[in-house]
Amino acid sequence: MNDPLENWADQVRAGDVRAISRAMSAIENRSSEAEALLKYLFPHTGRAFRIGVTGAPGTGKSTLVDQMAAFYRRQGKTVGIIAVDPSSPFTGGAILGDRIRMQRHAGDNGIFIRSMATRGYLGGLAQATGDATLLLDAAGKDVILIETVGVGQGEIEVVRLADCTLVVLVPGMGDDVQNLKAGLMEIGDIFVLNKSDREEAGRFEQQLLAILELVPARNGWKPPVVRMVATANQGTDALAHQIDLFRKHQAGATDRGARELVYWKEWLLRLLQGRLIERTLGNHTSEAEFDRMVSEVAARKKDPYAAVNEILARSKRD
């Protein structure tokens, strides 16, 4: 008899949509099944090219991601899309969004779309997204698009999982400034100026190029700016071309092995921290209790060491 997990893993590797969906749910629920499954799948990962897509809400990231997915499908490549929303609770909203997007690619088994959201106060979304990326990688997807809903610290952590990061900007969103949130300039490998048919696009592009002039090249790569009108599928080829150039640049970079080690070191530490925090805090101290401790510390009624020792003592009780 085969191990049922091994069967499941085989189905995932064969690209079976239901098997992949079940695995995604297991990852979201942080079930022990997910880990057991991923152990089977892990040796078969490392092939997919992961593209992170970030930018403020309203910049048209979803449309852009869909156009990119369609482009790669026309090239005969299989595609996975993970839409990540650190801010929203785990609700039907994400699922509804998936259904709408799925309809655009209805009947195409070569594309898999899934939303992920945060549950609880302990984070862990970057970890879940990382696991989902491994899953789609093992499922044979050639390209994985990881799309964030907003731009915050959580999102930046998520796109660090990618091989190539696109930052999507839009000219004249109320104030141009809106688009240039914390850390964005530094994480972009390619900048996409979406909705570039707008009147203000030229001026905005000049500003953007001037700022990028000031950002140091990383390993000899100067981030280019690609003009797009995603809704009209304009600029998709140019963007795909830049992604391809970046991919070749990275493949030839001398620091590739070192980057892989940094990547997995961070992954292991994050996984370990998540496990420890979950075990210690999640199982024994509720969010309300934790928040109460924080308030007491802020009011100098309890010292931080006492608070942490209290949390640690609780977790030892069982």
Task: Give the residues lining the site for a second copy (CB under 8 A).
Answer: 35, 38-39, 42-43, 45-46, 175-178, 180-183, 185-186, 207, 210-211, 213-216, 260-261, 263-265, 267-269, 271-273, 275-277, 280-281, 290-291, 293-295, 297-298, 300, 303-308, 311-312
The angle formed by the CA atoms of residues 203, 208 and 209, to the nearest 5 degrees, is 100
Question: Contact 116/132 with Cβ under 8 angstroms?
Answer: yes
Nearest distance, CB of residue 181 and a second copy, angstroms:
7
Nearest distance, CB of residue 311 and a second copy, angstroms:
6
Q: For 188, how many CA atoms within 13 A lie in the half-sphere containing its CB? A: 29
Pairing relation of β-strands 164-169 and 190-193?
parallel
280-304 b/e with 16+ CB inside 10 Å = b?
A: bbbebbeeeebeebeeebeeeebee
Looking at beta carbons only, is 1 or 261 nearer to a second copy?
261
Sign of the torsion angle spanned by Cα atoms 97, 73, 9, 41: negative
Nearest distance, CB of residue 142 and a second copy, angstroms:
18
Looking at beta carbons only, is 63 or 285 nearer to a second copy?
285
Nearest distance, CB of residue 236 and a second copy, angstroms:
28
Looking at beta carbons only, is 180 or 240 nearer to a second copy?
180
Give the length of the chain: 318
Tokens linked to 19: 């098997």
Q: What H or E segment, with its residue span, contains residue 51? A: strand 49-54
Nearest distance, CB of residue 176 and a second copy, angstroms:
7
Tokens linked to 284: 């024994």
283 phi, psi to nearest 5 deg? -85, -15
Which residue type does 206 have?
A: Q
Nearest distance, CB of residue 96 and a second copy, angstroms:
31
Nearest distance, CB of residue 284 and a second copy, angstroms:
12
d(Cα 231, Cα 233) in Å, to the nearest integer?
A: 6
Looking at beta carbons only, is 74 or 300 nearer to a second copy?
300
d(Cα 126, Cα 103) in Å, to the nearest integer?
A: 27
Nearest distance, CB of residue 33 and a second copy, angstroms:
12
Looking at beta carbons only, is 138 or 228 nearer to a second copy?
138
Looking at beta carbons only, is 60 or 123 nearer to a second copy?
123
Looking at beta carbons only, is 62 or 280 nearer to a second copy?
280
**What is the maximal distance between C-alpha atoms in the chain?**
66
Looking at beta carbons only, is 96 or 306 nearer to a second copy?
306
The tokens 């000031």 sit on which residue?
A: 214
d(Cα 310, Cα 176) in Å, to the nearest integer?
A: 47
Looking at beta carbons only, is 223 or 235 nearer to a second copy?
223
Nearest distance, CB of residue 253 and a second copy, angstroms:
16
Question: Contact 168/59 with Cβ under 8 angstroms?
Answer: yes
Helix (H, G, I), strand (E, B) or coil at 115: strand
